[in-house]
Amino acid sequence: MTRWWIYQRERFPVISHGALIAAFSLSAVCYSRLRRGVESFPDIQTSIAAFLCSFLFFLQLRVSDEFKDAEEDARYRPYRPVPRGLVTLRELGVVAGIAAAVQLFLAVSISPSLVLLLFACWIYMGLMSQEFFVRKWLKAHPSQYLWTHMLILPLIDLYVTACDWWKTGRIPSGLVWLLAVTFLNGIVIEIGRKLRAQDDEEFGVETYSRLWGRSRAIQIWLLAMGTTGFCAWRAAAIVSFDKVVLLLLICLLLIAVLVSIRFLERPVGGSGKRIGAMSAIWSLLMYLSIGLAPLTWKVLRR
């Protein structure tokens, strides 16, 4: 258990990841209910199933990365858990398999036909693990690599919302804005976690600050945040919560700009972590503001 505790601390922090995934899954289900005209909180079974499936999807993505990057990690990042022998790929494969069994059980408990959408998520994850069989091409085109790997997120989000609407047999209208938010927000987080000061760059490790340069990478990160914010505002507008969300997003964007300026002016060791932290805060508050917050407001007003 000590080995696994160390592994989760280094590669998949349960508490911090769990908080963000809980906000992601609960808000997705709440948004689905709002679009269906149901102004009540989801039941415990749906909430737990949505969270657990989301959490296990992201865990499986981490395990997939361990397999996919095993050769590069052994060469350039020997300090990571797998190269240094803390855990093995075989053990991680068993963990991913157990996670899949739990997901399958939860899907069947909601509706046996929901397994079809679960399989769709697994198939796309499998293609990702093989780099869509064009690994060299994707490595040479980081922008293409970025968006193709982020497409799994709206697919997961669709599955999470389906925990609520699947039995009705109809996808709620306006859900496309939520899926767009999820896709773009994935880009914000992915870029944000790979922005580093010069002193923190590692040989053989690709970061967006190295690929694009710090200034351009920051510009793209802010552009992604702005685009995500617009989609979040549109998603909030169709559940009559746009004014609150707009005010929140403007404040968060201003803070992000200030953090970016500080990073560019003083790119000292460790300063890139502020960008990653800002990405996480942005995601957490945005998801809560377009799903859980408006549903809570409507419930309290009744």
Determine, yes or no, domain membership for 141: no
Determine, yes or no, domain membership for 97: yes
Whether 122 and 227 share a structural domain? no
Determine, yes or no, domain membership for 104: yes
Whether 60 and 180 share a structural domain? no
Whether 194 and 283 share a structural domain? yes
Whether 209 and 291 share a structural domain? yes
Whether 126 and 190 share a structural domain? no
Whether 115 and 5 share a structural domain? yes
Determine, yes or no, domain membership for 114: yes
Question: Among the three residues 133, 164, 181, which one is the final residue of a domain in this structure?
Answer: 133
For residues 96 and 60, is the Cβ–Cβ distance under 8 A? yes
Contacts of 302 (CB under 8 A, 6+ apart): 39
Determine, yes or no, domain membership for 1: yes
Whether 122 and 246 share a structural domain? no
Whether 185 and 127 share a structural domain? no
Tens digit of each residue's pLDDT, the chain (302 residues): 799 999 999 999 999 999 999 999 999 999 999 999 998 999 999 999 999 999 999 999 999 999 998 988 998 899 999 999 999 999 999 999 999 999 999 999 999 999 999 999 999 999 999 999 998 898 888 889 999 999 999 999 999 999 999 999 999 999 999 999 999 999 999 999 999 988 888 887 889 999 999 999 999 999 999 999 999 999 999 999 999 999 999 999 999 999 999 999 988 888 889 999 999 999 999 999 999 999 999 999 87
Angle, CA of 118, 192 and 183, to the nearest 5°: 30
Determine, yes or no, domain membership for 5: yes
Question: Among the three residues 133, 164, 185, which one is the final residue of a domain in this structure?
Answer: 133
Contacts of 50 (CB under 8 A, 6+ apart): 25, 26, 28, 29, 42, 160, 163, 164
The parent domain of residue 91 ranges over: 1-9+17-30+44-133
Question: Among the three residues 77, 102, 133, which one is the final residue of a domain in this structure?
Answer: 133
Determine, yes or no, domain membership for 260: yes
Whether 65 and 186 share a structural domain? no
Whether 25 and 74 share a structural domain? yes
Total structural domains within the chain: 2
Whether 118 and 237 share a structural domain? no
Determine, yes or no, domain membership for 168: no
